[in-house]
Amino acid sequence: MHVYPRHLLAALALVLSSTLARAHAPAVDMLDSATAFLAALSPEQKKQATYTLTDAERENWFFTPVPRQGLPLKQMNPKQRELAMALLRSGLSQRGLTRAEAIMSMELVLKELEKDNPPGRRDPSNYLVTVFGTPDAKQSWGWRFEGHHLSFNFTLVDGARVFFAPSFIGSNPAEVRSGPRKGERVLGEEEDTGRALVKSLDAAQRKLAVIDPKAPGEIITSNKKRAEPLAPLGITAPQLTAVQREQLVALVKIYAARQRTEISDATMSRILTNGADKLSFAWAGGLERGDPHYYRIQGPDFLIEFDNTQNDANHIHSVFREFKGDFGYDILREHYAQDHSK
């Protein structure tokens, strides 16, 4: 018999240990990165970059070029900026990081298009890092990386469970139409995959999916602190063909995969466990490229919104929300209630 129990057991132990290591890697990497970043700051910078976990500022997120709290990249030295970007990498996949860096650099495109008017409004270094609470392996804390068209909000409950919503990426222009970056579409995959799905629908299906011939001017949930399920639902997964259902799940995965693999895999596993048949897809606006349009995907515990309506349908906003997981709110609320009762 060619069976080697010890070898098999050793291999199984290796697989299990590596699986556990991967499961904890995001929280560990975020802790290490945040600790190193904060240690590199001056006392004045650290005061600017940190808030308590319960401060209202933690949920004061937005995606337009507005004044923000935190420490901007432009006020960091090269070493500090490197550590800030290492913190960002601890939460994002390569796909997400590539999109984020492209969106930041898109500020230079806007600066040229707007002829730098008003001066200094468009700045790829005007993205801020903010840490909430004290990074700890066993205590809850969070961090944010935010600026124009980017908002990544991470919450670590008990230092281990990672929540990543709200997670927002936008792009203006959606397609660069002149200059050396002509043809670049940072969020082209999100747009094209959504359109391919709605155009695959037959007449009866499309009647269910298209909830309005006119697209809304903005994502419905905007920067609300809490996202609620939206109506009408559109078309539900059981009303799609098998191929279309696969397309819908693939579209969800594009958004989840902005986060690093361990977080993305856990998110998709939860979504599918809760029931891929409970997903719905809704579309508003025109069906052809260049038409103002909007779509959303909902499940029992999450919402995705995408719109391309502003600037002659050349300006995208996209967001991933969790009804209970935004800012880890529900889990943290339970913790606070338990601590208060003690």
Tens of pLDDT, residues 108-163:
999 999 999 999 999 999 999 999 999 999 999 999 999 999 999 999 999 999 99
Residue 7 has pLDDT above 50, yes or no: no
- Residue 53 Cα distances to 152, 333, 336, angstroms: 16, 12, 11
Helix (H) or strand (E) holding 171, with range, is strand 167-171
273: tokens are 């466990």
282 vs 179: CA distance, rounded Å: 35
Q: Residue 170 and residue 106: Cα distance in Å, rounded?
A: 10
Instruction: Give residue 15's pLDDT band: very low, low, confident or very high (50, 70, 90).
Output: very low
- Torsion angle (degrees, nearest 10) of CA 39, 42, 44, 46: -10
Buried b (16+ CB within 10 A) or exposed e, 159-186: beebbbbbbbbbbbbbbbeeeebeebbb
Q: What is the pLDDT of residues 172-217, one digit of tens each?
A: 999 999 999 999 999 999 999 999 999 999 999 999 999 999 999 9
Tokens 């990165």 sit on residue: 33
DSSP secondary structure string, 267-293? HHHHHHHHHGGG-EEEEEE-SSTTS-E
Dihedral of alpha carbons 259, 262, 268, 273, sign:
negative
Q: Residue 24: is its pLDDT beyond 90?
A: no
pLDDT in tens, 81-106: 999 999 999 999 999 999 999 999 99
d(CA 31, CA 138): 10
181, two tokens: 């970056």
Distance CA 336, CA 239 (A): 42
pLDDT of residue 2: 37
Q: Could you tell me the pLDDT band of residue 338, with boundaries at 50, 70 and 90?
A: low
**Across the chain, which distance is largest between two alpha carbons, in Å?**
78
Residue 335 CB neighbour total at 10 angstroms: 14
Give the C-alpha separation, 132 to 81, whole Å.
Answer: 19
pLDDT tens across 254-273, in order?
999 999 999 999 999 999 99
Prediction pTM value: 0.91
Per cent of the chain over pLDDT 70 is 90
Q: How far is CA 247 from CA 66, 190, 231, 276, 292, in A?
A: 36, 12, 22, 12, 22
